């Protein structure tokens, strides 16, 4: 029996009396790879912020690893990767190793320093994303795709059970996007890390994800990837509010 | 100079204080610069000016204040100003930066009123504005040492959290770091560093010692630890050369310290430019650089 990592039940949220999310039910279990898709302004980022504890819903319940989100203490179980552009100032004087190690801040505890063991963990996380050769390089000197791999390593260094990603491929060129997604595939299959990925790239992601949720204020589809593939483009267009045509793009599993 | 340093207590006080603030001002300055909060140091130093001017004015009116070191009121008002900035930032969520000019204006306004109301504390005030080699007392030195211990302990014990908060504030919230607590302390610590530094560098130039050595360090450092080390080295060089030249030329050390740190920055920029040009030549004069 798989453990439930995220359990949203009848969640409502509004900004200044404008409904953003209505009647949201979503369950993410161990080892699943969820693609959360939907048009611009559909509430995807708001939903992610609620899951991460940055926003409180108006009503409904949010359980993380079986605990109420308000009282959830084990934040290190959730790794988070945001859009590259929101994330940091590229002139910041920090090495890749320093950035990845900072993912252990909460786990190490207040008033304590990082140890050699923490450095080893950071190097291991960099190996997982294929970036161990860049450990001593300044983070600002890397390409957008490489920086996102470093941020995945920062999210992985604390051994999370769940990775939450909000459009992590924004600003990355198409070739790097494909290798980035194949790396996520590997993390999900080989390391059994559950993934909740917010994206616009329906075609690329539905090939990888085990499950798909289609959001536009409320959830219009919520189920297995195979069932989503059987859906007609017309139905998806109706949920999106504009025409959508899916083009199958196979992502090969490449060595990351 | 060395003989004078060994003979006169006031010189020992000035040099020891200078060496200590040469460490703590750039150390905290690095966090201020990377968080794009450089103007906060300016705002708080002007609030400290209001406190110093107020203390000097009150010392002319009341006997109690004439026995009180004006530095206390200067530090107290800077700490008060730091808390007010935090409060105002919370009230203007979409225009947080507004808090800085509001508090800066309040500091200058109150300072101007106290200076106008008082009768003749010109030389005292000049010492506070631009620093002084001769005015640092043993009591001032003790205040600087106490503040340095607090600042170094703060950075030492909250280094990880300060790094995350500086590098990626969104990530710090998601990872459950108590950013509000650390930020509140950060503002108070900044006010304390300004209070400690103003006797040597002067109220008007404190923020320069917190930012110019950091600007030079960021040109050459690849890592955050490296940036801390370079910032402190540049800060120390500026303070030592600045104090020596101020003593010999009998002028305010604030000016010589800051001008030295600007010269260091120019040297670093020139060195980087020359080094960059050489590397370009090495790859055959093409447009490629390494």
Tell whether A79 is covered by a domain: yes
Domain count, chain A: 1
Residue A85 has pLDDT above 70, yes or no: no
Closest residue in B to A107 (Cα) is B175
Q: Cα separation of A13 and A20, whole Å?
A: 6
Contacts of A64 in chain B (CB under 8 A): none
Structure confidence at residue A245 (pLDDT): 67
Report which listed range, A106-110, B35-39, B155-159, is most confident. Answer: B155-159
Residue B287 has pLDDT above 70, yes or no: no
Range of the domain at A171: 4-87+160-240
Average pLDDT over residues B22-50: 94
Whether B185 contacts chain A with CB within 8 A: no
Q: Do the beta carbons of residue A156 and residue A183 sit within 8 Å?
A: no
Phi then psi dihedrals of residue A14, to 5 deg: -140, 150
Whether B181 contacts chain A with CB within 8 A: no
Phi then psi dihedrals of residue A245, to 5 deg: -125, 120
- Chain A nearest C-alpha distance from B157 (Å): 4
Tell whether A152 is covered by a domain: no
Domain count, chain B: 1
Looking at per-residue confidence, does B67 or B121 come out higher? B67
Tell whether B267 is covered by a domain: no
DSSP 8-state assignment for residue A171: T
Tell whether B252 is covered by a domain: no
Q: Domain containing A27 — which CATH number?
A: 3.40.50.300
Range of the domain at B78: 2-207
With a pLDDT cut of 70, the percent of chain B lying above it is 93
Tell whether A66 is covered by a domain: yes
Tell whether B32 is covered by a domain: yes
pLDDT digits (tens, 9 = 90+) for A202-212: 877 777 899 99
Q: Do the beta carbons of residue B136 and residue B17 sit within 8 Å?
A: yes
Whether A71 contacts chain B with CB within 8 A: no
Residue B286 has pLDDT above 90, yes or no: no
Tell whether A68 is covered by a domain: yes
pLDDT level of residue B280 (50, 70, 90 thresholds):
low
Segment among A192-206, B8-22, B134-148 with least mean pLDDT:
A192-206
Q: Domain containing B49 — which CATH number?
A: 1.10.3470.10
Structure confidence at residue B285 (pLDDT): 41
Structure confidence at residue B284 (pLDDT): 41
Print the SS3 string covering B73-93: HHHHHHHHHHHHHHHHHHHCC
Average pLDDT over residues B56-77: 87
Tell whether A249 is covered by a domain: no
pLDDT digits (tens, 9 = 90+) for A147-166: 988 999 999 999 999 999 99
pLDDT digits (tens, 9 = 90+) for A42-77: 899 999 999 998 899 999 999 999 999 888 888 889
Phi then psi dihedrals of residue A85, to 5 deg: -65, -30
Tell whether B268 is covered by a domain: no
Tell whether B221 is covered by a domain: no
Tell whether A93 is covered by a domain: no
Looking at per-residue confidence, does B92 or A94 come out higher? A94
Which secondary structure element, helix H or strand E, spans residue B21, and what is its range?
helix B9-34
Structure confidence at residue A254 (pLDDT): 41
Closest residue in B to A101 (Cα) is B160
Structure confidence at residue A212 (pLDDT): 93
Segment among A25-34, A163-172, B151-160 with least mean pLDDT:
A163-172
Structure confidence at residue A164 (pLDDT): 94
Whether B163 contacts chain A with CB within 8 A: yes
User: Nearest to residue A6, comparing CAs of A34, A26, A33?
Assistant: A26
The tokens for A105 are 């801040």
Whether B222 contacts chain A with CB within 8 A: yes
Tell whether A231 is covered by a domain: yes
A vs B: CB pairs below 8 A = 81
Tell whether B84 is covered by a domain: yes
Structure confidence at residue B266 (pLDDT): 97
Tell whether A150 is covered by a domain: no
- Chain B nearest C-alpha distance from A14 (Å): 19
User: Nearest to residue A206, comparing CAs of A186, A185, A220?
Assistant: A185
Phi then psi dihedrals of residue B223, to 5 deg: -110, 165
Tell whether B38 is covered by a domain: yes
Please give the C-alpha separations between residue A28 and each of A10, A61, A233, in angstroms, as whole numbers: 15, 14, 25
Average pLDDT over residues B198-218: 93
Q: Cα separation of B250 and B11, whole Å?
A: 13
Q: Cα separation of A115 and A150, whole Å?
A: 20
So what's the ipTM on this one? 0.85
Structure confidence at residue B121 (pLDDT): 64
- Chain A nearest C-alpha distance from B223 (Å): 4
Structure confidence at residue A236 (pLDDT): 76
Segment among A60-74, A234-248, B113-127 with least mean pLDDT:
A234-248
Q: Cα separation of A218 and A214, whole Å?
A: 8
Q: Do the beta carbons of residue A104 and residue A160 sit within 8 Å?
A: no
Whether A137 contacts chain B with CB within 8 A: yes
Q: What pTM does this model have?
A: 0.87
Q: Do the beta carbons of residue B201 and residue B128 sit within 8 Å?
A: no
pLDDT digits (tens, 9 = 90+) for B99-111: 999 999 999 999 9
Q: Cα separation of B151 and B159, whole Å?
A: 11
Tell whether B222 is covered by a domain: no
Contacts of B218 in chain A (CB under 8 A): 91, 93
Residue B150 has pLDDT above 50, yes or no: yes
pLDDT digits (tens, 9 = 90+) for B217-272: 999 999 999 999 999 999 999 999 999 999 999 999 999 999 999 999 999 999 99
Phi then psi dihedrals of residue A39, to 5 deg: -70, 175
């Amino acid at each position: 029996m798989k453990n439930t990592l995220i359990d949203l039940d009848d969640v409502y949220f509004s900004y200044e009396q404008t409904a953003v999310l209505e009647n949201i039910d979503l369950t993410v279990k161990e080892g699943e790879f969820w693609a959360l898709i939907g048009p611009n302004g559909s509430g995807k980022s708001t939903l992610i912020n609620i899951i991460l504890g940055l926003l409180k819903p108006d009503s409904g319940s949010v359980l993380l690893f079986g605990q109420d989100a308000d009282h959830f203490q084990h934040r290190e179980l959730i790794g988070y990767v945001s859009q590259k552009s929101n994330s940091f100032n590229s002139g910041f004087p920090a090495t890749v190793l320093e950035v990845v190690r900072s993912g252990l801040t909460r786990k190490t505890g207040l008033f304590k320093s990082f140890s050699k063991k923490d450095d080893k963990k950071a190097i291991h996380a960099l190996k997982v994303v294929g970036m161990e050769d860049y450990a001593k390089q300044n983070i600002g000197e890397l390409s957008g795709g490489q920086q996102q791999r470093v941020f995945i390593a920062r999210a992985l260094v604390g051994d999370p059970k769940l990775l939450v990603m909000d459009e992590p491929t924004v600003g990355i060129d198409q070739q790097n996007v494909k290798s980035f997604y194949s790396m996520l595939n590997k993390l999900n299959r080989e390391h059994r890390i559950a993934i909740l990925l917010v994206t616009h790239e329906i075609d690329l992601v539905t090939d990888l994800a085990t499950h798909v949720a289609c959001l536009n204020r409320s959830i219009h589809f919520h189920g297995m990837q195979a069932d989503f593939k059987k859906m007609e483009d017309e139905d998806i267009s109706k949920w999106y509010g504009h025409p959508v045509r899916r083009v199958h793009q196979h992502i090969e599993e490449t060595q990351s | 100079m060395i003989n004078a340093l060994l003979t006169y207590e006031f010189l020992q006080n000035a040099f020891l204080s200078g060496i200590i603030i040469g460490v703590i001002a750039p150390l905290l300055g690095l966090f201020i610069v990377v968080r794009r909060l450089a103007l906060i140091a300016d705002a708080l130093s002007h609030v400290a000016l209001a406190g110093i001017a107020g203390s000097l004015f009150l010392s002319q009116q009341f006997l109690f204040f004439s026995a009180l070191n004006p530095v206390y009121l200067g530090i107290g008002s800077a700490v008060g100003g730091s808390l007010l900035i935090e409060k105002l930032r919370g009230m203007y969520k979409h225009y947080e930066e507004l808090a800085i000019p509001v508090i800066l204006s309040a500091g200058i306004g109150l300072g101007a009123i106290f200076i106008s109301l008082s009768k003749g504390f010109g030389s005292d005030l000049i010492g506070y504005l631009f620093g002084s080699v001769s005015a640092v007392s043993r009591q001032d030195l003790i205040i600087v040492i106490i503040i340095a211990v607090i600042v170094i302990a703060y950075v030492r014990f909250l280094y990880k959290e300060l790094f995350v908060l500086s590098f990626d504030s969104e990530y710090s919230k998601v990872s459950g770091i108590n950013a509000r607590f650390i930020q509140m302390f950060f503002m108070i610590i900044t006010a304390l560093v300004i209070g400690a530094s103003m006797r040597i560098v002067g109220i008007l130039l404190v923020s320069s010692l917190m930012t110019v050595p950091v600007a030079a360090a960021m040109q050459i450092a690849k890592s955050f630890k490296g940036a801390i080390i370079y910032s402190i080295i540049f800060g120390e060089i500026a303070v030592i050369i600045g104090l020596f030249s101020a003593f010999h030329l009998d002028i305010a050390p604030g000016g010589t310290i800051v001008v030295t740190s600007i010269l260091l920055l120019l040297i670093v920029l020139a060195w980087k430019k020359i080094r960059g040009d050489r590397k370009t030549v090495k790859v055959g004069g093409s447009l490629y650089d390494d």
